[in-house]
A and B are shown apart, each in its own frame.
Chain A
């Protein structure tokens, strides 16, 4: 995989496109290698290794735009691929076209977020999985299921105006659930861009402890509660805020943040930033898909919506500066960071008169993205708090709310934050614990 010449691939694509006298062309070539071990019932279920490469080409000619990707990377095939893409553009309609920047940029790889030790770690994954399982058992779980995923991705860009660059990222993540009798379960995560930040034992311990403490769980009464969301739960919902901040979503009618620029959309303590590259970030790169330098963009600052995420087309439409978040079609976040507060977990629990601590969730679905009304299903560790003390474990409930109402009711955030990326959170998110007043909890009939 390391032998693949991404720059050479881009040269072939762009020289072919230039010969066709296109107005704009971008070649983005990527190669990735991922190693994965999955386990269930304390036993390995499969060990995976996937190595893939892909070339994506964007062409614009006479306001017609086309995008295509291929995994056939032989030089002759790439030339034919670009010519075929160009030929297919004849029947296209004119569209919103914004030229690529005239001034060529050169990007050197960011040093953040790369650990060479993660390039090929498959032989070590079974031992790490074993350590997580053992820690879960020691903490009270009887059987565990999970996955460790370690990998790297390298992306190179070349545009018809001469912008070029290359950047790489590595990441290692563990998602573990531990189970005990009476359907009790707990959840643990460890997510890092470097091996030194990866702690499978701690994730296993949390999962095992969750399982142990959930054995006598009962269903809560439906009603309004103060809820304390773990970084895992909070980042799942924060990611939907960033999705709503995409200018494409705003235009498409699928954003609750439409018509809210400069307005208060969250509590004063709520500040959300997207970083193209950041220390410890598991995703992102120094350039976006259109060759624009990525940067840090404040989405919400002190509760006020500061801006949307843009590519060249949406920025032109909104008459603002591009934010370096292309996607050719839809702008998207790279690494999200929610500002920390100054509370400890114990202080936050101590603030709750009657509330629920939620440590994990899944299946967040929206009734209406325009209004931000959603519900999500808590799972694993969940606990009733009365007068500042955890009194019993809970199960069988649903959290339903509106994003703006909920984030406007944030009263405390923790000092402690964690990077989260797992099955329910695509965009790496650095997130604290979050205390929210007046959340609606429901339970099933029957």
Chain B
């Protein structure tokens, strides 16, 4: 037996451009996405530092001079805080993605996030030590 699909006049709401301002959770999400810009910025800065080091002491000194401007220090302070927010929220989410089992024992979420933090601090401390010792 054949039948005709009933298809009434549906109403569809288009998603507005500013859909994300309607809920705090969405605003938080958009803000976190925007923190990726600061992550990208630091990656580019690292490339610029590497290039200036390759170009010689004068180029490196020139770059350091431009980075020591008050406006640049302010920019980097904001960028650093933003990247830290990005990293902390990322580490806090890591247990959601990782289910680690050792035999029949499931590693608790706190230990997975804690492992990430421990690695972060260990790597940062090593870099700081290399900088101070060097």
Q: Bound pair: A and B?
A: no
B residues near A, CB below 8 A? none
A residues near B, CB below 8 A? none
